[in-house]
Amino acid sequence: VFAGAAREAVFSQPEVIRRVNRDFVPVALKAALVNDPPAGEEGRLCREIGRSRPAPQGICVANSAGKVLDWALMFDDDRSVLAFLDHARDRFREHPDASRPVAAERYMKFPSRKLADVEDTEVPLPTVDRHADSRCPARAPVAPGTLAVRLYGRALDADGRPIADTVRQEHYVEDRFDLSPELQEMIARDLAKAGPDGFRLPGALYRLLASHAFLGQLDVNPLEPPGDVKGELKPGELWARREEPAAAGTVRLRVEGRSEVAGGRQDGSPGGRGAAGDGRIWEHSVRLTWEGFIDMDGSRITRLVLTARGTERLKWGNISFGGAGPDPDVARLPAGHPIDFQGEVLYGLIGEPARAE
């Protein structure tokens, strides 16, 4: 939730955007690198950042030597975000490098809730210009033959037009996922055996598509929510049938079908309906009709375009929210904001071969 909330509430504010671009070098860092650093000198840099972290996720300012100046997990209000940036920038002016020791300041909520500082170890950190194995650990390796799929999802208004807001992920979502070479080969094998009426696409593809076409942040995934809660992939089907090929040597498949997923419903009460024990209020169901094309060259997909339209119900929150409003709030970044959406939705997917490293 933190990442999505920070993106919506903090990094979508025009003045924050202006100041970050003007005064800082912005880096979005996988928490895994800080919480479980890689080996070698790059790992030492990551470990130093993680040494003072008040939580696994947060917003942090560091100097050019990699020494942490400030951490913040939340802010009192929108103006406090700007005050934090000013404060961190001023500290950088005093401690731009490792020439003098500097303590890491930590704020649970800036500026009202300050935690104890973490003192500098005064151990010099290395200057590292290259990754140990020439590959940045922030980038996941891509297997040759992988198809990279990008998804765009929009909530529609009463007139069937996309809702204009593109900040909140329950209104506008972008996602991506990979379609493995093995799954592509499975489709190619099914195609080879198919008759003129077409064939049912593999269940693994059905699941993959259905598990990404939803609105909201990562934690509301109706099929793979965090924790012990299980979602339900309802019976559906995707069919493919040969069409006139776009180019010689390729096969174009027209894809049609429908899908339905439903997350386990929880009402937040202890022992109540679908209780997860954490006060979660959650209900998520998506029904979609799919249409599109897959171009294949042998056992590889060369292009994929799909749309899926239908209806979606997403209710999400926590009994601890109390009377929190529906807007993103810098004072509630780890918790996010409540969501109550029901309406028509439209998704679009484009897949192209990924660049293997």
For the segment 302-341, give every residue that binds another protein (CB under 8 A).
Answer: 305-307, 309
**Assigned token pair, 201:** 């696409």
Q: Where in 168-299 does DSSP place strands (E)? A: 172-179, 199-200, 232-243, 251-262, 266-267, 280-297
The correct pick among 64, 121, 311, 342 for binding another protein (CB under 8 A) is: 64
The correct pick among 75, 81, 87, 88 for binding another protein (CB under 8 A) is: 88
211-230 positions binding another protein, by CB under 8 A: 217-218
The answer to whether residue 3 forms part of the interface with another protein (CB under 8 A) is yes
The correct pick among 101, 111, 160, 272 for binding another protein (CB under 8 A) is: 160
The answer to whether residue 101 forms part of the interface with another protein (CB under 8 A) is no
Give all strands of the β-sheet with 104-109 in edge-to-edge order: 68-72, 104-109, 113-118
Between 24 and 340, whose beta carbon lies closer to another protein?
Answer: 24
Between 173 and 268, whose beta carbon lies closer to another protein?
Answer: 173
The correct pick among 105, 120, 146, 153 for binding another protein (CB under 8 A) is: 153
The answer to whether residue 57 forms part of the interface with another protein (CB under 8 A) is yes
Counted residue by residue, the chain has a size of 357
DSSP 317-334: EEGGGTT--SS--GGGTT
Residue 33 — φ and ψ, nearest 5°?
-70, -30
The answer to whether residue 112 forms part of the interface with another protein (CB under 8 A) is no
Q: C-alpha dihedral over 44, 45, 49, 50, to 10 degrees?
A: -30
Residue 168 class from Cβ within 10 Å (0-12 exposed, 13-18 middle, 19+ buried)? buried
243 CA to centre of own chain: 35
**Assigned token pair, 326:** 């529906």
Q: How many residues bind another protein (CB under 8 A)?
A: 93
The answer to whether residue 69 forms part of the interface with another protein (CB under 8 A) is yes
Q: How far is the CB of 106 from another protein (least distance, A)?
A: 13
The correct pick among 12, 115, 142, 242 for binding another protein (CB under 8 A) is: 12
Cα(301)–Cα(79) distance, integer angstroms: 49
Per the CB < 8 A criterion, the answer to whether 215 and 153 are in contact is yes
Between 85 and 191, whose beta carbon lies closer to another protein?
Answer: 85
Single out the segment in contact with another protein by CB under 8 A; choices: 152-160, 193-201, 233-241, 258-266: 152-160
The correct pick among 148, 167, 262, 276 for binding another protein (CB under 8 A) is: 167
Single out the segment in contact with another protein by CB under 8 A; choices: 194-202, 271-279, 315-323, 345-353: 345-353
Cβ atoms within 10 Å, residue 127: 11
Q: How far is the CB of 46 from another protein (least distance, A)?
A: 7
Q: How far is the CB of 50 from another protein (least distance, A)?
A: 8
The answer to whether residue 150 forms part of the interface with another protein (CB under 8 A) is yes
Residue 223 — φ and ψ, nearest 5°?
-100, -30
Q: C-alpha dihedral over 324, 286, 174, 225, to 10 degrees?
A: 70
> Cα–Cα distances in Å, from 137 out to 67, 203, 234?
20, 32, 37
The correct pick among 39, 124, 130, 196 for binding another protein (CB under 8 A) is: 130
- HSE-up (13 A, CA, CB side) for residue 216: 29
The answer to whether residue 114 forms part of the interface with another protein (CB under 8 A) is no
The answer to whether residue 21 forms part of the interface with another protein (CB under 8 A) is yes
Single out the segment in contact with another protein by CB under 8 A; choices: 100-108, 113-121, 261-269, 301-309: 301-309
The answer to whether residue 263 forms part of the interface with another protein (CB under 8 A) is no
